[in-house]
């Protein structure tokens, strides 16, 4: 409870500050570019009950879910292999860092040629955004496992798989989870970007359509919903990560 209290307090303080700044900005700009918090909330409550929202939400949720699973599985696999083998890590980790520095949007034409329009390209784009940070955090986490733990496992005669499941993974979990938290957010961003540029369904497509039609109510509502989802997930994952670190240091 003590660990969660500061997170909750800081989150509530941030929310209040955002709402106050939002209202002040609305008074300065007016209805041309913004809606007030009260207006946005009222429109949001009406919009989330419509079949249109349900259909686009299901499309985005499906694509994001698949992209996240792929990013986690591939990222953890790469991370454990490169983190556990020094030579492979020294060869391929710089390549991963170089790939991560490339603006992902430049890869989208290649993905469109490879997968075409539809959910496959969105899933691929989301996966590309999330997989590398998960892999890099996992590599570092595996390398930081204490040598004494590894020696103990060898003395006990543990097989490689048992070493991973009983020693490496539990010891590296807090740092791996930090990578998962970042990968979660980036995978969501990648999926939404994929919907914005090459899809006719999903919340990303709906947001781009609203921008094109200058539908301020819908723009504000979608921005609010996506921000609330991403923010809530980030806070929950941060709380879990801090709890894991506290348990490891106890």
Domain formed by 35-249, architecture: Orthogonal Bundle (1.10)
Q: C-alpha angle with apex 6: 5 to 11, nearest 5 degrees?
A: 100
DSSP type of residue 48: T
Per-residue model confidence as pLDDT tens for the chain (250 residues): 555 567 677 778 888 889 899 889 889 887 778 888 999 999 999 999 999 999 999 999 999 999 999 999 999 999 989 988 888 888 889 999 988 888 887 888 888 888 777 788 889 999 999 999 999 999 998 888 776 666 676 777 777 777 777 777 778 888 888 899 999 999 999 999 888 887 788 999 999 999 999 899 999 999 999 998 988 888 888 888 778 777 766 5
E strands, 41-200, in order: none
The whole-number pLDDT of residue 86 equals 85
Domain boundaries of the chain, sorted by first residue: 1-34, 35-249
Global confidence as pTM: 0.84
Tell me which residue has tokens 């106890």.
250
């Amino acid at each position: 409870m003590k660990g969660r209290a500061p997170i909750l307090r800081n989150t509530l303080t941030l929310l209040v500050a955002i709402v106050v700044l939002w209202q002040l900005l609305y008074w300065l700009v007016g209805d041309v570019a913004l809606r007030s918090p009260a207006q946005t909330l009222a429109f949001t409550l009406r919009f989330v009950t419509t079949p249109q929202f349900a259909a686009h939400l299901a499309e985005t949720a499906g694509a994001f879910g698949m992209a996240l699973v792929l990013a986690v599985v591939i990222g953890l696999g790469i991370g454990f292999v490169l983190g556990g083998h020094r030579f492979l890590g020294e060869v391929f980790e710089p390549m991963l860092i170089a790939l991560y520095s490339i603006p992902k949007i430049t890869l989208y034409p290649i993905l469109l040629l490879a997968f075409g329009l539809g959910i496959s390209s969105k899933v691929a784009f989301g996966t590309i955004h999330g997989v590398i940070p998960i892999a890099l955090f996992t590599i570092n986490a595996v390398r930081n496992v204490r040598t004494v733990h590894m020696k103990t496992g060898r003395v006990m005669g543990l097989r490689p798989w048992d070493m991973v499941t009983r020693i490496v993974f539990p010891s590296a979990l807090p740092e791996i989870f930090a990578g998962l938290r970042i990968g979660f957010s980036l995978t969501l961003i990648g999926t939404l970007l994929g919907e914005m540029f090459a899809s006719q369904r999903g919340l990303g497509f709906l947001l781009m359509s609203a921008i094109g039609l200058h539908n301020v109510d819908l723009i504000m509502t979608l921005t609010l919903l996506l921000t609330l989802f991403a923010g809530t997930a980030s806070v929950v994952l941060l709380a879990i990560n801090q709890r894991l670190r506290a348990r490891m240091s106890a």
